[in-house]
Amino acid sequence: MSAKVSTQEIHRYLREQILLLDLPPGARLREERVAEHFGVSRTPVREVLFRLEFEGLVEITSGAGARVSHLDPKSLRDTWAVRLRLAEMVGDFVRLPAPPAILGDVQKMRETLDEIRETREIRALGALYNRFHEAMLGLVGNRPLARIHDLLYVQTARVWMQFLPEMDLDREIGVMAEELDETLVALAGTSGSELARIRADHMRRLLRRYERVSSIGVISA
């Protein structure tokens, strides 16, 4: 790794590793090993770990260091409830029609999803959904709202990856294809409320599918 790697890049890499369960709950994050991997001092690594702790992805204990946090069912229910309400609010701050770059990126995601339908790679599906989240985040004109939206997303994103092996993969791919298709139509329009409706609707449907394989339960909103 280059010594010029930024703190932001380290954060992005570790966050993705956690969200895709490459670093599972309970995994230890040793500052010295991460610093060696990126060719940096331990100071920027420590900054990244504190940021991941703030995001709820890492737990730091005096004398024990940093570990990937475990998923807490009650916290997840509370976070999902806020995410649903926030998803409806985001529509008021979305800029449409979407810029060509974002529209093109989502179109590429749709093509990639067809490839995943053939390879059936769960990790690739999770990575694609993270990309979709980032693309939608780029449409939110209110930066404080975007930061909150992102924070709540990362606190719940691991649930899907955790339960995907127990869920109907073909159905999950099909539902995501439906969401991407609906989103592409909305992105070309001018209604932020329609885009928000699509996102909130698919979040509720996902919660109902979770109910079949977990104890999280459906959250009404």
Mean pLDDT (the chain, rounded): 91
Region 136-162: mean pLDDT is 93
Q: Say how far apart CA 75 and CA 25 lie, in whole Å.
A: 15
Q: Give dist(CA 165, CA 21) in Å, integer.
A: 12
Where in the chain are the domains?
Answer: 7-68, 73-213
Mean pLDDT of the region 96-111: 97
Q: Coil, strand, or helix at residue 140?
A: strand
Which pTM does this prediction carry?
Answer: 0.90
Are 55 and 154 in contact by the 8 Å Cβ rule? The answer is: yes
CB 34 within 8 A of CB 23: no
Q: What percentage of the chain has pLDDT greater than the value 90?
A: 77
Q: Does domain 7-68 have CATH number 3.60.20.10?
A: no
pLDDT computed for residue 215 by the predictor = 57
- The answer to whether 43 and 10 have CB atoms below 8 angstroms apart is no
pLDDT at 219 over 50: no
pLDDT tens across 21-71, in order? 999 999 999 999 999 999 999 999 999 999 999 999 999 998 878 999 998
| Neighbour-count burial for 153-184, b at 16+ CB within 10 Å, e otherwise | bbbbbbbbbbbbeebebeebbeebbebbebbe
Q: How confident is the model at residue 220 (pLDDT cuts 50, 70, 90)?
A: very low
Please give the CATH topology (third level) of the domain spanning 73-213.
Answer: Four Helix Bundle (Hemerythrin (Met), subunit A) (1.20.120)
> Given a cut of 70, is residue 153 above it in pLDDT?
yes
Question: Mean pLDDT throughout 153-161?
Answer: 92
Fold: same for 7-68 and 73-213: no
The helix-helix angle for 122-137 and 143-163 (nearest 10°) equals 170
